[in-house]
Copies of this chain bind each other. A is one copy, B any other.
Amino acid sequence: MQILDIASFLPSVVVDNQQLGRLTGLAAGYFQQRTGILERRRAADGENTNTLAVRAATALLARHPQAVAAIDLIIGCSYTSWDLIGTIAHAVQRACGLVRARAFTLSSACSSVSNALEVCAAFFDAGRSQQVLVVAADHNSLYSDDTDRQSGHLWGDGAAALLLTRTAAPSAQFELLDVWTAGLGHVGLGPAAVGLMPRGAGLVMPHGRDVFVQAVEGMTVAAQTVLERNGVRAADLRLLAPHQANQRILDQVAKRLGLGPTQVASTIARYGNTGCASAVITLAEHQAQCAAGELALLVTFGGGYSSGAALLRRL
């Protein structure tokens, strides 16, 4: 199973800490100190999960026109739906003319891409698919509140797309060596810690401390599980591409795994937490650091809770 190519799309509107400082009455420096975030991108009027997903998918498929007729499965990843019936997978199918593809969207919040990669691996292993498009998009600001002092400053909007092939492709970027996921709804405060109630409070994080503790534990265990079962030491990783929840969470995960700062990719300062897309956006922006044969580990954590990790070798 190979990742033929990756693309990302970030909307152009920038919201910086000064703006959120004015809205919340908190010092702008507080947001950076607490989270490492300097600014985040926001969808403009008329942009939503479906348009963000289409932008990322279109950018990817423009480089791979032959894939349009070959893709037999589209897996959307999103928890901030604009339309819960016409999902991002269906919008991408229509916009990109992927007429041969099955289509559905899945969510375990910010760990969704790990689940999508595992579904993809299962379809490939079972001979049910040959070429899969995974597209992740979140429009957190549709449901978040910039005046929310607890978590309003965390959220950014963004999208990413991955083109995966069952068999070896000459120009592929990564071999996917292994993928592992875990449901953690039973752990800590589970589904109560972070919520997105569209007809209720919107996107809120009433129990940030529990999220911090469980995200560090969940991403560390996911990474260790995949490293151990593949006989890889953390020191052998060229790159960890983690879900961008909070720089302090990333620092703790790096410390627990014994990784140095150059091994851990981060985009949170510029994009904030972009949800399902964040680990893939981060991998896309840092993949040039990996030389052929070097290893990267994508690791995710979802606020419901869930976790996952995927071990990649640069081709």
Residues of B within 8 A of A103 (CB): 108, 183-185, 304, 306
Does A101 touch B at the CB level, under 8 Å?
A: yes
Residues of B within 8 A of A192 (CB): 86
Does A195 touch B at the CB level, under 8 Å?
A: yes
Given contacts A85-B195, A90-B190, A104-B106, 8 further A-B contacts (CB under 8 A): A82-B200, A86-B191, A89-B183, A93-B183, A94-B185, A102-B118, A102-B182, A104-B112
B186 near A84 with CB under 8 A, answer no
B98 near A183 with CB under 8 A, answer yes
Q: How far is the CB of A182 from chain B (nearest CB, A)?
A: 6
8 of the cross-chain contacts (CB-CB < 8 Å) are A84-B197, A86-B304, A91-B191, A103-B183, A104-B107, A104-B183, A122-B123, A122-B128
- Residue count of chain A within 8 Å CB distance of chain B: 64
Does A99 touch B at the CB level, under 8 Å?
A: yes
A119 to B94, CA, bound (A): 22
Residues of B within 8 A of A108 (CB): 87, 89-90, 103-105
Contact flag A97-B304 (CB < 8 Å), given A122-B128, A126-B126, A194-B86: no
